[in-house]
Amino acid sequence: MHTLTDENLRSIRAGLIAREAELRDRMRRVQDDLRREVTPLPRDAPDAAIVLENDEILHAVDETARGEIKQIERALERLEAGTYGLCEECGSRIEAERLRAVPYAVHCSRCVTDT
Ligand SMILES: [Zn+2]
C-alpha cells in the first residue's frame, strides 16, 4: 500500500493518542515515586546507593517519556496539517512499514541515518 487512507490516518491518530495517554500515566507514576524518595536515605551506604540508582532510572524513564510525548504531539500536528507521513528532509513518503513501527517518524528510512 502506497498511500494512507482516511481510515489508516484515523487509526494512526487513535494509536498516537492512546500512546500519549499511556506515557502521561507512566510519567505521573514516576513523579509519584520521585516524590516518595524525598524521604531521608537509608543510613547504611549500600542501600543508599540503590535508592540513588533507582532515582536515576526514574529520571531517565521520565526523560524518555517526555521526549516521546513531544514526538507524538508533533505527529498529531502533522496529521492535522496533512503533512503526516511525508519525510521532513526530502519530502517523499515515509514507508508504510516504517510508520507502522514508528508512527511518529518524520524521516524516511533513507534520511533517518543522517539525523
Ligand atoms: Zn527522506
Beta-bridge mates of residue 86:
93
Centroid of ligand 1 to alpha carbon of 99 (angstroms): 13
* pLDDT digit string, tens, across residues 12-30: 999 999 999 999 999 998 8
7 C-alpha to center of ligand 1: Å? 24
Number of residues assigned to the chain: 115
Please give the residue that has the higher pLDDT: either 114 or 66: 66
CA of 82 to the centre of ligand 1 (A): 17
Cα 12 to ligand 1 centre (Å): 20
The answer to whether 96 and 105 are in contact (CB under 8 A) is no
Mean pLDDT of 30-40: 73
Centroid of ligand 1 to alpha carbon of 93 (angstroms): 8
**From the CA of 109, how far away is ligand 1's center (Å)?**
7
pLDDT given at position 3: 72
Q: What is the pLDDT of residue 45?
A: 63
Rounded to 5°, angle at Cα 9 from 90 and 88:
15
pLDDT tens per residue across span 51-92: 667 788 888 889 999 999 999 999 999 999 999 999 999 999
| The pLDDT of residue 115 is above 50 | no
Q: If 0-12 CB within 10 Å is exposed, 13-18 middle and 19+ buried, where does residue 87 land?
A: buried
Say what the pTM is: 0.75
Rounded to the nearest integer, the mean pLDDT of the chain is 86
User: How far lies 23's CA from each of 4, 12, 64, 86, 90, in Å?
Assistant: 26, 16, 9, 25, 30
Instruction: Tell me, in angstroms, the distance from the centre of ligand 1 to residue 114's CA.
Output: 10
